[in-house]
Amino acid sequence: MASLTIRKLDEAVKVYLRLRSAGNGRSVEEEVRVILGELVQGRSELSGATPLSAVAHAEAAPSVSASSERSVTLIIGGGIAAFKSLELIRRLKERHIHIRCVLTKAAQQFVTPLSASALSHERVYTDLFNPESEFDAGHIRLARECDLIIVAPATADLMAKMAHGHADDLATAILLAANRPILLAPAMNPLMWNNAATRRNVLQLRRDGIHMIGPNAGEMAESNEAGIGRMSEAVEIAAAAVDILRPPRPRPLAGKRVLITAGPTHEAIDPVRYIANRSSGKQGFAIAAAAQAAGADVTLVSGPVDLRDPPGVTVIRVESARDMLHRVEAALPADIAIFAAAVADWRVANEGEQKLKKTSAGMPQLALVENPDILATISKLKENRPPLVIGFAAETEHLIDNAKAKIARKGCDWIVANDVSPATGVMGGDRNTVHLLTRDGEKINVDSTKVESWPVMTKEQVAAELVAKIAQTMEKNS
């Protein structure tokens, strides 16, 4: 099997890989593995990603790497996990983070300042009372001329000193003088971690607003013991650092209530059988997550799906179209309603109270009746109609014509139309090709409908694009 040396790659490719891996919170090597995996599966992100020419251009413009470089003061404590902090330096540098290392006296028993210096390409600080380092950086500058302070490993001793405000060496003096966020990666024997004194100190530090990652459960490096106390892996700590360093995301939908439906509905035939469809709920769930990330207060009414609740979203699980309509009505008022669920058009009129049996009289006849039309019902409300109502049109033929007719018939404002023919793999898949149909103000007719066709995207990308469009429209209308 051939091996690949990233150092030897073309500069533009390296920059592309660095930007892409940093964006995804992976190491460069992991990113290369993901790209190769995607290529093999025929779903490479390369076509949709920043082209190499754009990366080369970005590199030529000094603003990209120079001005966006973040800086971390990394304090390495005296624990057996200190060796992992050398790996952490590499992971942070891969993410374009500038690092200055501080080693406690005990840390120097485990790793040398020379290793930390060689990996960080910076001098290393060890002594509070060193006139040279006080002149050069000084404990106050190490505490404040950075965007984040990481302590890894955070020993029981360092956490005790922090919790009680000690400052008797360079590391603790920096931590006490800091006005920057602090991230601790504790590492210690499980008995030390569970000791009442450590528990008190951890609680105090959390109350003081200190970020913490780990420790993880597992075997201890120095003994045969296992339990909670292993320092988080370097990639995990680097990802947590990147999260803290990331500028706060814009929240264009803050203060807006968004109501979303997702998934299929199940229409009972009898107590054990039902009529369903192939909707996975992925698109609706992705929209809920994107709206929540944009700051909205999101309620998601979902039919039966095998998906986890998106964090921060109120999720209401339902079975049938009628349940869904009741829960949607109860969730009003809303500023925006997005009906992404594949609601069954019909249900069984004569739902069996008991399981239907095979009899010699032949097959049971299933009579169907129409289900309530949730999109039309909410679009035509006289009171409490959300100012922006968006429907989905899943079609297998005449997509745009059917979607145009639907927007006029239902009275909604926008329709997201997608082709769900089996060949597209949209139903249940991870990608979607959609067309956004919008109509102007009060005019509800086929001719006033505008159509925007989007390229093939992941369902998350479709969700982000739709939410951005909604935010733009809300801003324009406000």
CA–CA dist 271, 444 (Å, integer): 42
Nearer to ligand FMN, 220 or 474 (CB): 220
Nearer to ligand FMN, 108 or 473 (CB): 108
Least distance between ligand FMN and beta carbon 54 (Å):
45
**Alpha-carbon dihedral angle through residues 332, 335, 341, 342, given to the nearest 10 degrees:** 100
Least distance between ligand FMN and beta carbon 420 (Å):
55
Determine if residue 392 is labeled as part of a ligand binding site.
yes
Q: Residue 477 phi/psi, 5° resolution?
A: -80, -10
Instruction: Mark whether 277 is an active-site residue.
Output: yes
- With tokens 């005449």, the residue in question is 398
Phi-psi region of 19 (alpha: psi -120 to 50; beta: other; left: phi over 0): alpha
CA–CA dist 449, 1 (Å, integer): 55
* C-alpha count within 13 angstroms, C-beta hemisphere, residue 339: 32
The secondary structure element, H or E, covering residue 290 is helix 282-293
The secondary structure element, H or E, covering residue 13 is helix 11-24
Least distance between ligand FMN and beta carbon 157 (Å):
4
The 70-76 sheet, strands edge to edge:
97-103, 70-76, 148-154, 182-186, 211-212
Phi-psi region of 295 (alpha: psi -120 to 50; beta: other; left: phi over 0): left
Look up residue 283 and give its two tokens: 């698109």
- Do the beta carbons of residue 103 and residue 126 sit within 8 Å? yes
Least distance between ligand FMN and beta carbon 167 (Å):
12
Look up residue 426 and give its two tokens: 């949209």
Determine if residue 375 is labeled as part of a ligand binding site.
yes
Burial 186-220 (b: 16+ CB within 10 A, else e): bbbbbebbeeeebeebbeebeeeebbbbbbeeeeb
Nearest C-alpha neighbor of 319 from the set 343, 303, 308: 303
The CB density around residue 60, as the number of other CB atoms within 10 Å, is 8
CA–CA dist 392, 281 (Å, integer): 12
Determine if residue 355 is labeled as part of a ligand binding site.
yes
Question: Which positions lie near ligand FMN, rule CB under 6 A?
Answer: 77-81, 104, 106-107, 153, 155-158, 187-188, 192, 222
Nearer to ligand FMN, 111 or 137 (CB): 111
Least distance between ligand FMN and beta carbon 229 (Å):
7
H helices of 25-137, where?
Answer: 28-40, 52-60, 68, 82-94, 113-120, 131-136
Nearer to ligand FMN, 174 or 286 (CB): 174
Determine if residue 269 is labeled as part of a ligand binding site.
no
Least distance between ligand FMN and beta carbon 200 (Å):
15
Least distance between ligand FMN and beta carbon 139 (Å):
15
Determine if residue 407 is labeled as part of a ligand binding site.
no
Nearest C-alpha neighbor of 208 from the set 240, 150, 165, 242: 165
Q: Which of 201, 277, 371, 418 is catalytic?
A: 277
Nearer to ligand FMN, 195 or 448 (CB): 195
- Do the beta carbons of residue 193 and residue 228 sit within 8 Å? yes
Residues counted in the chain? 478
- Name the 3-class secondary structure at 446: helix
Nearer to ligand FMN, 168 or 345 (CB): 168
- For 47, which DSSP code? G
Q: How far is CA 219 from CA 189, 229, 301, in A?
A: 10, 9, 43
Least distance between ligand FMN and beta carbon 24 (Å):
31
Residue numbers annotated as active site: 277
Which residues fall in the annotated binding site for CTP?
Answer: 345, 355, 372-375, 392, 406, 410
Which residues fall in the annotated binding site?
Answer: 345, 355, 372-375, 392, 406, 410
